[in-house]
Every structure is written in C-alpha cells, then in structure tokens.
Amino acid sequence: MLSKRIIPCLDVKNGRTTKGIKFRNNLDVGDPVEMGKYYYQEGADEIVFYDITASNERRGIIIDIVQRVAEQIFIPFSVGGGIRTLADMRDVLLAGAEKVSINSAAVRNPRIIAEGAEAFGSQCIVLGIDAKRVEESKEIPSGYEIFIDGGRLPTGIDARKWAKEAEGLGAGEICLNSIDMDGTKSGYDVKLTRLISENVNIPIIASGGAGKIDHIYEALTAGKADAALVASIVHYSIYSIKEIKEELDERGVKVRLQW
Amino acid sequence: MIVIIDYEAGNLSSVKRAVRKSGFDCKITMDKDEVLRAEKIIFPGVGAAGKAMENLKRLGLDWAMKEAFVSGTPILGICLGAQIIFEKSEENRSRCLGFIEGEVKRFPPGLYSKDGQHLKVPHMGWNRVAFRRSHPIQEGIRPGDEFYFVHSYYPVPASHDVILGETDYGITFPSVIECNNLIAVQFHLEKSGRAGLRIFQNFCQWKSSHA
C-alpha cells in the first residue's frame, strides 16, 4: 500500500538556508546542499526547496543549488518560489528537480499550469496554495480564501474552487498551506486539508502548523492528506524524521521505514 | 557501453546521475547504431505512450530496440519504458513495441485501500514490491524496501510467468517484469533512494544468460 510521505521544506535565501537551524550533528546547517543530503539520509520521502531570494541573481543561484543537490540525493525534490514562466520551470527541471511548485504566478495566469503540464507532464507541476479562513459568503462558499504574494494579497478566490480548477488545468499535486496555522506549531488546519482532499483526485500535501507528531497524524488521517510538509519540527531537531515515522507507524499510518 | 535511450520522453540526466552513483559509466543516446552496439540498454521514459511510440519510430529506435532485444542485449525498462514493451496501451490507444504479449491499462476509478480510503490516480509516492521469485536484479533488496512510483497506467501481461514483482494499490498489479534479457520496472529507480541505486548496480553487473 502507498506510504504517506514526510517532506522537509528548506527555505533558501541568497543560496543559504534560513532560520537558525540546529542540528545534533556537526554540519554546515546553512548549506542547502548539505541539508538536503542530510534529510535524504535521514529518511525524507521528498524534499522541498523554497527560494525566498528577492534579488535579480536569484535564478543563477538556485539553478546552481539544484544541480548540486541532484548530484547528492536520489529521491524526488521540488523547487518553489519565484517560478513564473515556462522557462523558469524548464531551467529548474533540467537542472535536476523532479517537480516545480507554482503559487502566485498560477493565480495571476492559470494557463501556466496547463502549459507546464503539457510541456513537462502533470507529475512535475505542484500547485502551491496559501489559504486563509474567512467568513463563508457567496464568493467564498468554502470559507477559505486564496492569498498570494507570500500571503499578503487577498484574491477573493475560493480555495475549493481554485483547487478544482487547477486540477482540471493539469496540476499534479497541491501543496496546501494554511496561513492561519503557519508558524504556530499548534497543528495543521485539518478541516482545510480534508475539504480540499475530498474535492480533488490529486495528492494533497498538508503544510503549516506542525509542532508535534500528533499534528502530522491528524493531517494524514482525519485531514486525508497524502503527505505532510515539515519545517521547524525537524529543523530544530524536536523530532527526527525517523522518530516521526516510527510513531506514525505504531499508530497505524503506512509510512516508508527503510531507506 | 551502457546506453540510456533518449527518445524525447523526459529528462534523462537524473537516470544518468543515478547510474554513475551506482558505480557505472553510461551515455545518453538517440543514435540507433549506438543502441545496436550497446553492451546494455536502459530504457526510461515519462509521458504519454502515443507520443513515445511516434518518437521511437521517427528516430528508428523501435527497430533498433527490437534487434537488441532479440539478440540478447540486457535491457532495463523504467516507468513508461516498462509499458511500451507490451503490444498495446489504452493510453492514446497506441500500438507499442510488442516485445512481450499483453497490454497496458489505466487504473480503474473507484479504487479503495483495505482501510476504506479512496485511492487517487495517478498512483504517486512510495510503495513496496513483493517479489514472486528470486532474480539477480533484486540482490540486496530487503522485503520492506519501497520505491517511488508515478503512473496512471500499468502493465497486464498475457502470461503470469513474466511477472517478477507485484505492488498493491487497491488492486495488485505487476510492477517488475522479467522476460529473458529484459527487466522492466514500473517505478522510478533514479528517485528510489538506496534501493533504486542498488537495482541499477545489479542490472549493470547482471550476466544475462540469454545473450
């Protein structure tokens, strides 16, 4: 049976991983390539590199990182942040990433999803969604609104409607981030992940809010997510990926235990 | 030389890196003469069956592959490469290479896991393989090892004898095929961590008795 995936997410800025990431081992915690390799060896099922560089040199820097990561890790990894065009996607995929993640650019121009899926295959195209709880209304019947530009700009678009539309356009997967829960360490928005997962037939990666293993368990069971994105919970060595997986396994969630 | 066949069906650099990581040199080629001379052939691929067959024909690689197969060159099919070795595919209703009798079918809608969860298509992520018998290709692979899958179609051979490994996704489907000098896996070896690299290594070392 298919395993639920545990996916560490690394924020990269100017070629370095951000946040004071602490490790038990003595390693260069600022180097995304070393970090990627570390999580690969620790049993990550996939890795996400999220580029938050704002400068013009960003493209060259991230491509160099992707190429170096691809030499070291032999599991899928995706790259997100600042991907706007088909050319951006092509550069990252040719450099060795398995998938690209698009978010704001897809809301502004939904055609990019179809074009990306047509050119590279749906399995390469991950749609990132930043959703926030709002009052249910005629415009937002699900009670979750899409925000773009790092969660700053409301769009008036309903999250359920957007997820279904993106699936129709050819998105292969949805990485669903809860703006309300992101950084709180108080749990994923299980209601949101369940809502989207039940309304589309593509995998959902729950994102935002993991602080303990029970949160991951809830997202993967009650939340019906296919995968869980983890950041602080592993970056600060609160738990190792192995510990997370062993507890999930004990509680009956199918995960990959050998690597 | 070990060659990786390029028929414009996806990025092959990750396959090349994985083969090198497993300790062997290899070359990406779309030249049919190189395929005919190859010591071993790796036949990967992502995308749709129809387009893949079109490309193979245009490049003369369908014929070169057939020659290589009948002459006993060890061949390793991966993902789409494990599908278009059959006679036909439901995808684009394509006629395929026909090395092995059988067809390729789409996962039916309404698949459920044993615990009642609705299963999505494509089958995407890590899953296990139950081997039906032993073969040099699975040297060093442990029973709980998992592999990375991404596919909506799966092979249905006419004879069960060619099924070396099976995977469960609502239904049990053949995920490793073996026929003489041909081994084909539905999962992505290049994205399957240690276990995937080990199978590359096993293939590169394999002394097929059909040569």
**Is residue A2 within 8 Å of residue B169, measured between CB atoms?**
yes
| pLDDT tens by residue, A33-88 | 999 999 999 999 999 999 988 666 777 789 999 999 999 999 999 999 989 999 99
Q: What stretches of chain B adopt beta strand conformation (E)?
A: 2-5, 27-29, 40-43, 75-78, 86-89, 94-95, 100-106, 123-128, 130-131, 146-151, 153-157, 163-169, 171-179, 182-185
Report which secondary-structure segment, H or E, holds A11. strand A5-13
Establish, for the pair of chains A and B, how many residue pairs have beta carbons separated by less than 8 Å.
Answer: 87
Q: Using one digit for the tens of pLDDT, what is the confidence trace for B79-110?
A: 999 999 999 999 889 999 999 999 999 999 88
Q: How many whole angstroms separate alpha carbon B70 and alpha carbon A114?
A: 40
User: CA-to-CA distance for A93 and A117, rounded, in angstroms?
Assistant: 13
Strands A47-51 and A77-80: parallel
Which domains are delineated in chain A?
Answer: 5-250 (3.20.20.70)
- The ipTM of this complex is 0.93
Q: How many C-beta atoms lie closer than 10 Å to residue A63's C-beta?
A: 18
Could you tell me if B202 and B156 are in contact, meaning their C-beta atoms sit under 8 angstroms apart? no
- Class of domain B2-205 (CATH, top level): alpha beta
Q: Contact A244/A227 with Cβ under 8 angstroms?
A: no
CB B5 within 8 A of CB B184: no
Q: What is the pLDDT of residues B64-80, one digit of tens each?
A: 999 999 999 999 999 99
Question: What is the arithmetic mean of pLDDT over B158-166?
Answer: 98
Q: Which two tokens stand for residue A239?
A: 């738990």
What residues of A are in the B interface, CB distance below 8 Å? 1-5, 40, 45, 70-71, 74-76, 93-94, 96, 98, 121-123, 172-173, 201-203, 224, 226-227, 256-259
- Residue spans per domain, chain B: 2-205
- Contact assignment for A2 to B142 by CB distance below 8 Å: no
- The DSSP annotation for B21-70 comes to HTT---EEE--HHHHHH-SEEEE---S-HHHHHHHHHHTTHHHHHHHHHH
Cβ pair B36, B29 in contact under 8 A: no
Evaluate if residue B161 carries a pLDDT over 60: yes
Structure-token match 């096993």, residue found: B202
Of A70, A123, A258, the CB nearest to B124: A123
Chain-chain contact of A5 with B191 (C-beta, under 8 angstroms)? no
Instruction: Taking residues A175-195, report their average pLDDT.
Output: 95
Asked if residues A17 and A35 have their Cβ atoms less than 8 Å apart, the reply is yes
